[in-house]
């Protein structure tokens, strides 16, 4: 029997244990807060314990469940320790959100060692984390959400390591969706493009004319001519992780106001009109 058309949408996330890497800042913090608001138990995992603990206190004060687990994600032993601590505190992991990553500017003029290090920072630790959590994900029929970037589709220039790693993460999304389907585990990716985060604000503030630079970028975003918000990314992640998206897997979802896939002839024309 179909639910009434205006019934509340219960996402069925209460007490589900969620790991959010890099979950203390920017998009990660929005994701952590959004899961907590739905009643999930949120493990904020990453190298920013001060920010993570502050966010966990904020979530707890609002009636949610969250804790910070300080961890160097590229250190296999430290990551294993953190996952064990999450289990001890909250129980088996049901949702893994691979959010942590850094656009580190490792390009063709960088060393091969720097390129390898970029893959460690952006691709290897998501694999390591999912591998560590796999018994839990199987027992909970859980899910994986990978946070990617437009650079893996569009290129950016000067960022071979980050683009390659995030392209690899897209490929792993579909590989894991196929590999884990017999266990009822879903894997999806959410791809931001231009999102206003503290890091982005710092970057735009370093432009010669920050206001003009921001206006130029916004004019190329077809839907609304504005930046995507971190909350819009978070809301998509939470829905896709929920039981309401129970038959969605192997998908790469672009939450970008049309930035990546719309014809550049149109977006450039819009940008020109805005600057006229």
Determine the Cα angle at 159 with ends 170 and 146, to 5°. Answer: 25
Question: What is the distance between the terminal CA atoms of the chain, rounded to a whole angstrom?
Answer: 56
Whether the per-residue pLDDT at 4 is higher than 60: the answer is: no
As given in the structure block, the two tokens for residue 21 are: 């890497």
Q: What is the pLDDT of residues 65-118, one digit of tens each?
A: 999 999 999 999 999 999 999 999 999 999 999 999 998 999 999 999 999 999
pLDDT of residue 2: 47
Q: How many CB atoms lie within 10 A of CB 249?
A: 21
Identify the structural domains of the chain with CATH numbers, from first to last: 17-196+228-261 (3.40.50.720)
Whether the per-residue pLDDT at 182 is higher than 50: the answer is: yes
> Catalytic residue at 254?
no
> Could you give the residue ranges of the DSSP H alpha helices within 143-186?
151-154, 160-180
**Which residues, 6 or more positions from 30, have their beta carbon under 8 angstroms from its beta carbon?**
229, 230, 231, 233, 234
Q: For residues 169 and 177, what is the distance between their CA atoms, to the nearest angstrom?
A: 12
Higher-confidence residue: 276 or 35? 35
pTM for the whole structure: 0.92
pLDDT of residue 169: 98
pLDDT of residue 197: 84
Average pLDDT over the chain reads 92
Determine the Cα angle at 146 with ends 143 and 148, to 5°. Answer: 160
pLDDT of residue 7: 52
Q: What is the pLDDT of residues 163-172, one digit of tens each?
A: 999 999 999 9
Catalytic residue among 162, 200, 254, 259: 162
């Amino acid at each position: 029997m179909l639910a009434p058309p205006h019934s509340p949408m219960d996402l069925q996330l209460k007490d589900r244990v969620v790991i959010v890497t890099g979950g203390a800042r920017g998009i990660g913090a929005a994701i952590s807060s959004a899961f907590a608001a739905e009643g999930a138990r949120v493990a904020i995992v990453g190298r920013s314990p001060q920010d993570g603990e502050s966010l966990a206190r904020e979530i707890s004060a609002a009636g949610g469940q969250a804790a910070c687990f300080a961890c160097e994600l590229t250190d296999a032993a430290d990551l294993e320790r953190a996952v064990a601590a999450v289990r001890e505190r909250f129980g088996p992991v049901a949702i893994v959100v691979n959010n942590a990553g850094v656009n580190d500017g490792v390009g063709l003029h960088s060393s091969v060692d720097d390129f390898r290090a970029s893959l460690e920072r952006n691709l290897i630790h998501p694999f390591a984390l999912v591998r560590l959590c796999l018994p839990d994900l199987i027992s909970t029929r859980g899910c994986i959400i990978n946070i990617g970037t437009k650079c893996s589709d569009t290129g950016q220039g000067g960022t071979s390591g980050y683009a390659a790693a995030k392209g690899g993460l897209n490929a792993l999304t579909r590989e894991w969706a196929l590999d884990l389907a017999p266990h009822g585990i879903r894997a999806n990716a959410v791809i931001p493009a231009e999102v206003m985060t503290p890091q982005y604000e710092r970057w735009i503030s370093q432009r010669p004319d920050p206001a003009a630079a921001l206006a130029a970028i916004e004019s190329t975003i077809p839907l609304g001519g504005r930046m995507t918000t971190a909350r819009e990314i978070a809301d998509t992640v939470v829905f896709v992780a929920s039981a309401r998206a129970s038959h969605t897997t192997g998908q790469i979802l672009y939450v970008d106001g049309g930035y990546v896939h719309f014809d550049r002839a149109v977006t450039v024309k819009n940008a020109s009109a805005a600057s006229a």
